[in-house]
C-alpha cells in the first residue's frame, strides 16, 4: 500500500534547507512537498518507496493554495514542465572531499524518473527518488517542519526558499524569544538560492529576489519580516543581511506593505535623481508624463521594477506597463484618475509584480524589444549595457567621451 498517510506536514532535513544550493519553481517545490507529506513517513521508513504513483488529480490539488479564485495554467503544460524540472534540476552541496585544497561539490537529482502511467484507469505520474535523495526525507534527526497549505500560498520559488530557512529558525528558537535576528552573508544567500552567476550585483539581487520574497512571506505566512538590515563589512559594499522577524499575528499579513498616500507629497531632490541610471531616469520621466506624483514614481514604482532582464531597460518595462494599462483599464476618464488607477494597480493590486501573469507578458515584450534593438542598432544596445552600471549623469559623461573618440 503506497498511500502511507494524509497530512499537510512536510519535513526536510536540515542539510537540505540550510546548506543545499538549489533553484526550483514554486510549482515543482509544491509538488515535492505534496509527495513528501502524503507518501513519505520520515520516522518509520528505512527507504523511499519506488516508484510513488501520484494521480493527475492529486497533482492539481498539490498545486492549489486552497483559496477561492485559484487559477492555474493548462494542467498539461504545468505537469510537463514540472516533471522535466524535477528530473533535470540538481541539489548542489559542499562535501569534505578536497582536490587541490578546494572542497568538491556533490550533486543530487531531486527525482530520478517521472513516468506517466495509468493505474486502474487512473492517469498519473510515477515519481522515483534515488538513494541519495532519501537522506533528505527519511531517518531525520534534525529537520525543518513546514505546513504545506501555508507554503502553497507563496507563488515564487525564491519566496518558498527563504520561508523554509526562516521558518526553520523560528521553529527551533520560538521557545526562547519572540523576535528573531539572523545574519546571512549575501554570497551565502546567493549560493542557497543558486543564483551566484545570475545576480552578482546586490542591487538586482535585492530588487528582484529579496524584496519580492519578503513581501510575499509577510502577506501570506506565519512569519513576519520586520526589517532587513544591510551590513557593510567591506567598504560601501553590502556584504551581509540581518533578517529581523517574528510571528505573523492574525491579520497582520493583510496589511499592505505600501501605502499609496505615503509619498504623495514627497518630491525627490536633484541629489536623489542623480542616483538613477539612464534607463531608470527615462522610466521616471515616463511616469511623470503620465501624471504620476514624483514621490510615488521615485519611491514606490521604480524600486519595484523586477526582473534581471529588465536591468538597463526599465523604461522599456514602464512603456509596456503603461501600454497594457491603457488597453485594459476602465478608469481613465482624465489624466488624474488614470494615474491614480495605475498606481493602485501597481502598489495595491500588484498587477505588475514578478509573480503575476501580466508581468510575464511584459517581461517577454522587453526581451523582444532588446533583441530588436540589438539587431537594428548594436551600438545603442551596447551603450545600454554600459549605462545600467552607471548613474545617468555618469553615463552622459561616458557617452560624450566615447563619442569624441569615435
Domain boundaries, the chain: 1-148, 154-255, 270-405
End-to-end C-alpha distance for the chain, whole angstroms: 75
Count of helix runs (H) and strand runs (E) in the chain: 18, 10
Mean pLDDT within 7-16: 88
> Does domain 154-255 correspond to CATH entry 1.10.260.40?
no
Where do we find the cell 517545490?
Answer: 29
pLDDT at 17 > cutoff 80: yes
Which residues lie across from 296 on neighbouring strands?
Answer: none
**Whole-prediction pTM value?**
0.61
SS3 label, residue 310: helix
Do the first three CATH levels of 1-148 and 154-255 match, i.e. the same topology? yes
CATH level 2 (architecture), domain 1-148: Orthogonal Bundle (1.10)
399 Cβ contact partners less than 8 Å away, ≥ 6 residues apart = 383
In which band, very low, low, confident or very high, does the pLDDT at 404 lie, cut at 50, 70 and 90?
A: low
Q: What is the DSSP string of 157-182?
A: HHHHHHHHHHHHHHHHHTTT-SEEEE
In which band, very low, low, confident or very high, does the pLDDT at 355 lie, cut at 50, 70 and 90?
A: low
Mean pLDDT within 137-166: 91
Of 50, 175, 201, 277, the C-alpha closest to 209 is 201
pLDDT of residue 403: 65
Could you read off the pLDDT of 153-201 as tens digits, one per residue? 999 999 999 999 999 989 887 766 688 888 888 999 999 999 988 888 8
Q: In the 3-class helix/strand/coil scheme, how is 372-401 assigned residue by residue?
A: HHHHHCHHHHHHHHHHCCCCHHHHHHHHHH
Does residue 251 come out as left (phi exceeding 0), alpha (psi in the -120 to 50 range) or beta? left
Could you read off the pLDDT of 28-72 as tens digits, one per residue? 999 999 999 999 888 888 888 889 999 998 888 888 755 444 445
Amino acid at each position: 500500500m503506497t498511500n502511507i498517510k494524509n497530512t499537510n506536514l512536510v519535513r526536510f532535513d536540515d542539510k537540505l534547507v540550510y546548506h543545499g544550493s538549489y533553484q526550483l519553481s514554486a510549482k515543482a517545490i509544491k509538488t515535492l512537498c505534496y509527495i513528501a507529506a502524503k507518501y513519505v513517513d520520515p520516522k518509520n521508513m528505512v527507504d523511499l518507496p519506488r516508484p510513488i504513483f501520484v494521480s493527475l488529480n492529486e497533482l492539481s490539488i498539490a498545486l492549489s493554495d486552497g483559496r477561492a479564485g485559484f487559477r492555474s495554467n493548462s494542467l498539461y503544460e504545468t505537469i510537463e514542465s514540472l516533471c522535466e524540472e524535477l528530473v533535470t534540476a540538481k541539489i548542489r552541496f559542499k562535501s569534505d572531499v578536497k582536490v587541490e585544497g578546494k572542497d568538491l561539490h556533490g550533486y543530487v537529482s531531486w527525482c530520478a524518473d517521472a513516468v506517466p502511467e495509468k493505474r486502474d484507469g487512473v492517469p498519473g505520474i510515477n515519481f522515483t527518488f534515488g538513494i541519495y535523495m532519501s537522506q533528505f526525507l527519511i531517518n531525520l534527526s534534525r529537520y525543518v517542519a513546514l505546513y504545506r497549505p501555508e507554503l502553497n500560498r507563496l507563488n515564487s520559488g525564491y519566496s518558498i526558499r527563504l520561508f523554509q530557512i526562516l521558518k526553520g529558525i523560528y521553529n527551533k528558537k520560538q521557545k526562547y524569544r519572540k523576535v528573531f535576528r539572523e545574519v546571512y552573508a549575501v554570497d551565502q544567500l546567493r549560493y542557497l538560492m543558486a543564483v551566484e552567476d545570475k545576480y552578482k550585483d546586490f542591487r538586482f539581487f535585492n530588487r528582484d529576489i529579496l524584496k519580492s520574497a519578503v513581501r510575499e512571506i509577510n502577506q501570506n505566512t506565519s512569519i513576519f519580516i520586520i526589517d532587513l538590515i544591510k551590513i557593510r563589512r567591506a567598504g560601501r559594499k553590502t556584504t551581509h543581511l540581518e533578517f529581523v522577524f517574528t510571528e505573523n499575528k492574525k491579520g497582520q499579513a493583510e496589511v499592505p506593505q505600501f501605502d499609496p498616500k505615503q509619498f504623495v507629497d514627497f518630491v525627490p531632490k536633484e541629489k536623489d535623481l542623480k542616483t538613477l541610471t539612464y534607463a531608470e531616469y527615462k522610466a521616471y520621466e515616463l511616469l511623470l508624463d503620465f501624471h504620476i506624483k514624483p514621490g510615488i514614481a521615485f519611491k514606490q514604482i521604480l524600486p519595484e521594477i523586477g526582473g534581471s532582464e529588465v536591468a538597463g531597460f526599465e523604461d522599456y518595462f514602464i512603456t509596456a506597463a503603461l501600454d497594457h494599462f491603457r488597453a485594459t483599464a476602465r478608469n481613465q476618464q482624465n489624466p488624474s484618475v488614470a494615474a491614480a488607477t495605475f498606481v493602485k494597480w501597481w502598489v495595491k493590486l500588484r498587477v505588475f509584480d514578478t509573480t503575476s501573469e501580466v508581468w510575464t507578458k511584459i517581461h517577454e515584450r522587453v526581451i523582444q524589444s532588446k533583441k530588436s534593438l540589438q539587431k537594428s542598432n548594436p551600438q545603442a544596445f551596447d551603450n545600454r549595457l554600459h549605462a545600467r552600471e552607471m548613474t545617468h549623469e555618469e553615463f552622459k559623461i561616458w557617452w560624450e567621451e566615447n563619442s569624441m573618440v569615435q
